Structures are given as structure tokens and as C-alpha cells.
Amino acid sequence: MEVSKRQWIKFGVVLALYLLFLIWVKSWLGLIVVPFIFDSYITKKIPWSWWKRAKNKSVQFVMGWVDAIVFALIAVYFVNIYFFQNYEIPSSSLEKSLLTGDYLFVSKLSYGPRIPQTPLTMPLTQHTMPLIGTKSYLEHPHWDYRRVKGLGQVKLNDIVVFNYPSGDTVATSPDYQAADYYSLCYGYGQSLATEKPDLSKMTRSQQRAVYENYYSLGSNYIKNNPQMFGKVISRPTDRRENYVKRCVGLPGQTLQIRNRIVYLDGKPNKEPDNVQYGYYVKTTAPISDEVRYDLGISLEDISQHNPEGTLYWIPLTKKAYNGLKALTGLVSEIKLDEAADSEGLYPLDLYKNWTRDNYGPLWIPQRGKTIRLTEDNIPIYERPIAIYEGNRLEVKDGKIFINGQQTDHYTFKMDYYWMMGDNRHNSADSRYWGFVPEDHIVGKPILIWLSIDKDTSKIRWNRIFRWVDNIK
């Protein structure tokens, strides 16, 4: 069979692009595909399109659709892994910077795409098959974490999509699947414990024993009640839920929150332009939909605290606060929610006087940096050491053992980040589940391509094609 010049040119272009891709991802295993590319364009020994020559029209029709669907799935799989994926803002934790119902293009190139740790998965699914509810991925093969070189690194105040750190273990019941499994364990364990000692009067070792008992009681309760909680499963890193928050702390920085302001190495970090805090609002009458819409207050934001509809808890930007305050005929009082909310703060097994508005200080782990371990800080760094970096960590009689060896220091293998929502009093973020490891970073939102108001089901035309980087 004579091969045309055109065929050779097509083959050369495709081969060059493919080899450049392999160089980029540093995967020479992909060379096994080269003979198939050669056959597809040059030798044509394998009958890739046999169905086109079939005499049965039904076979041609069905296989035509199968061919198109398979090609589309492979293309989507490839694009989602290495270039970009779609992401919908599911909650109000980033309002009013990003709104519930915003649809984003998330760039994998910005920070470098991850080589998939669980490569055999159904495209367009994260971890569960729709309708049937089974896993959408195979546990094996499971590859170690590796990230391809990207266009840059996570920067301070970037909005970032990442895998939920505490999503490594999940109770699969629909009622609890979105809940933090570890918070559930400690919460149920504390309620089941026959003794609830005063932790403030105990040593760190004694406190640790109490917390270990809480966790043991709670985890056993959850595992022994599958009719309520469902099956307890573990998920690989890249199959955990996707979250989106703002990076407010970088590797190697010391972070502290004082009176709601984030400080890094002792200096205040710039607050987002549309940062929100919770306020109690007293009114003379219920807040109308018109007022709510004019001030950008969504139904998800607002919660009534009395049956008359005259006491509300509302997260407000400075603009919305001033707008409500100006409505003197409607609003009688606006008061900042200064509750010392310490429930469920990270780490869950450390007795501390931290609150959501006054938190830390703590040092954010950095790759290659060594930290001295003590009974005071081991709860803070236990999860990165044991769960994220795969070490066996034990504390016995006040002594720390890593992989069976007694030690008082540890050198981190990855960079970590501190993520928070802009809706500071209504955000489940690093204050509640801790550091985000670099292997959990998915990508950077770059563009809002669609925005639908969940209250009205109408398109927010003024938000379409807005660059996320312009939202500060």
C-alpha cells in the first residue's frame, strides 16, 4: 500500500505533539502508544473503523455512536486531567467574591496538573456513579503523587480549588456523606463518654488520653450503626470532594487570627474586598425580597431568629452593612456576632482557647523544613505527618515515636497551605480541618463562564466571563 505525503505529514505532526506531551509529563511509558499511532496513519493493519464497512446499517449506526461517545469520553478525561475542568460554587463560603451558582473554568496548568493517582475512573465523575451510587473509580492501580510543571505556584490570596483534606474517610449515608468524619467521631464520642473531666486541669498527656477515648467511642459507634451512617470508606486523594477557598497562608509562614484579621509573620494580611462577617439585625418588620435583593443578600445567607421575622443573623459586607444601617425606618439595631465560637476547631484533639476570630498562632509546614515536636504541638502536626505523609506516629508516656523510632523532630516532605472563605463567619475552612497539602491542590479558577441565581433561577448576566483574578 502506497503511503501519501499527506499521511506522513499528519503522522509527523501528531507524533511530535505526542512526544512533547510525554516530555512534559515525564512519562516514557507512553511510548508504547507510538506503534498504534504509526499504524493508524501509515500501515493501517489494525481495522480501527471496521464498522464503517459493515453491510448491516444498524451495526454502522450503533457503532458510529459508540465510537463518538468513546472518543468524547477519552477527550474529556484527558482535558480534565491536564488542562481544565468545570466547577460549580456549591455554597456561600466565598460570598460575596464568588457566589453560589457561579460556574468556573478551573485551570490545571496554573499550578501544574497532577498525574492521576487513580487513573481508571469514569470521566465527569468525582467518586460516585450517578443513579447507581457505586464508586466511579478503581482503587488499583494507585500511583504515587507527582505534579507536572505548571505556569506558577499558589500565591497569597489566590482563590484555589483543592481536594477536601478531611475527606480521606467518609460515612456514606446521604445524611452524613458531606460531614467531617473526624468531627462526627469526636462529637459522638464525647456524648457517649461516661466521664467528662475538666480538661483545663489536666496535663497534655492526660488530655490526649481523653481525646483518644472520645475518638474511639465515636468511631466505633459510627461503624457499628451502618443503618444510620452507612458504610465507612476511605477515598484516595484525587477522589475526595472538591472545595474552593482563598489561600491566606503560605508554606513557612506563621499564621494567627486576631480580632478576625489574619496575621502572617506578625503582619496583617489584606482582607478581601467583599469579606463578610455575621451580624444580628433587629428590624421593625420582616426584610422584604426587594431590600434583600438590592443589598445582595441571598436566601441562603439570611436566617430568622424569631417567629415574627424581626431578628435575623446575616453575613454582611461593608457595603451591605451600610445599606441596612441607612434603612432607619426598618432596621433598629445591627450588632456584630462576637460569639467566641470554638466548637470543632482544628485540631480537634487539642485543648485550647482559640476561637474562629482569635486563632493560633501556628506555623504552616514547608517542604524540607524541620520542626521540633512537643506535646503542645503534636496535635497540630499529627495529621500532616501521619495521614498526608504516610508515617506511623505514636505518643507513649509523653514520648513521640515516628515509624517506631523515638524522636523530637520531623522534616516535612510537602508544602502546606491555609485556606479560608471570604464569608468568615459562615465558612468551613482550615480553621476547622487544618492544613491543605500540596498534593490536594487541583487548580486555579480563572473564569466565571456562567452564573445562575439559586433564589430566582435566573442568569446573572453581569457575572458571565468575569476573570476570577480580578476578584480581590
pLDDT for the residue 469: 87
Q: Which residues pair with 416 in a beta bridge?
A: 437
Output the CA torsion sign for 35, 24, 77, 117. positive
Residue 401 has φ and ψ, to the nearest 5°, of: -125, 130
Return the percentage of the chain with pLDDT > 90, whole number: 69
Confidence of residue 343 (pLDDT cuts 50, 70, 90): confident
pLDDT for the residue 360: 93
Rounded Cα distance between 431 and 359, Å, is 8
Question: Exposed, middle or buried: residue 224 (CB in 10 Å: 0-12, 13-18, 19+)?
Answer: exposed
Question: In what order do the strands lie in the sheet containing 311-316?
Answer: 303-304, 311-316, 277-283, 331-336
pLDDT for the residue 29: 86
Alpha helix segments (H runs only) across 124-203: 181-192
Q: How far is CA 119 from the centre of its chain?
A: 19
Is 80 in contact with 413 (CB distance < 8 Å)?
no
Confidence of residue 358 (pLDDT cuts 50, 70, 90): very high
Q: How far is CA 417 from the centre of its chain?
A: 12
Please write the tens of the pLDDT for every residue from 92-130. Answer: 888 889 999 999 999 999 999 999 999 989 888 888 888
The count of C-alpha atoms lying within 13 angstroms of the C-alpha of 297, restricted to the half-sphere facing its C-beta, is 27
Question: Exposed, middle or buried: residue 14 (CB in 10 Å: 0-12, 13-18, 19+)?
Answer: middle
In our burial notation (b when 16+ CB lie closer than 10 A, e otherwise), range 353-381 reads ebbbbebbebbbbbeeeebebebeebbbb
Is 96 in contact with 276 (CB distance < 8 Å)?
yes
In the numeric block, which cell numbers belong to residue 330? 426598618
Indicate the pTM of the whole model. 0.91
Residue 371 carries which DSSP code?
E
Confidence of residue 168 (pLDDT cuts 50, 70, 90): very high
Rounded Cα distance between 125 and 84, Å, is 14
Confidence of residue 300 (pLDDT cuts 50, 70, 90): confident
Confidence of residue 19 (pLDDT cuts 50, 70, 90): very high
Q: E-assigned strands of 62-142?
A: 84-88, 102-107
State the average pLDDT over residues 437-448: 96
The count of C-alpha atoms lying within 13 angstroms of the C-alpha of 309, restricted to the half-sphere facing its C-beta, is 6
Confidence of residue 307 (pLDDT cuts 50, 70, 90): confident
pLDDT for the residue 251: 98
Is 126 in contact with 178 (CB distance < 8 Å)?
no
Q: Does residue 1 register a pLDDT over 70?
A: no
- Measured from the Cβ of residue 418, the count of other Cβ atoms closer than 10 Å reads 24
Q: E-assigned strands of 40-129?
A: 84-88, 102-107
Is 165 in contact with 436 (CB distance < 8 Å)?
yes
pLDDT for the residue 27: 86
Please write the tens of the pLDDT for every residue from 414-428. Answer: 999 999 999 999 999
Instruction: Report helix, strand or coil for 6.
Output: helix
pLDDT for the residue 110: 95
Please write the tens of the pLDDT for every residue from 188-203. Answer: 999 999 988 999 999 9
CA dihedral in degrees (152, 153, 158, 160; nearest 10)? 100
Cell 502572617 found at = 264
Q: Does residue 230 register a pLDDT over 80?
A: yes
Instruction: Report helix, strand or coil for 394.
Output: strand
pLDDT for the residue 187: 94
Between 223 and 48, the higher pLDDT residue: 223
Q: Which of 173-182, 214-223, 358-367 has the lowest mean pLDDT?
A: 173-182
In the numeric block, which cell numbers belong to residue 254? 506563621
pLDDT for the residue 342: 76
End-to-end CA distance of the chain: 61
In the numeric block, which cell numbers belong to residue 263? 496575621
Please write the tens of the pLDDT for every residue from 254-288. Answer: 999 999 999 999 999 999 999 999 999 999 988 88
pLDDT for the residue 54: 84
Q: Does residue 381 register a pLDDT over 90?
A: yes
Q: Does residue 238 register a pLDDT over 80?
A: yes
Is 416 in contact with 362 (CB distance < 8 Å)?
no
pLDDT for the residue 161: 96
pLDDT for the residue 456: 86
pLDDT for the residue 171: 94
Please write the tens of the pLDDT for every residue from 40-52. Answer: 888 888 888 888 8
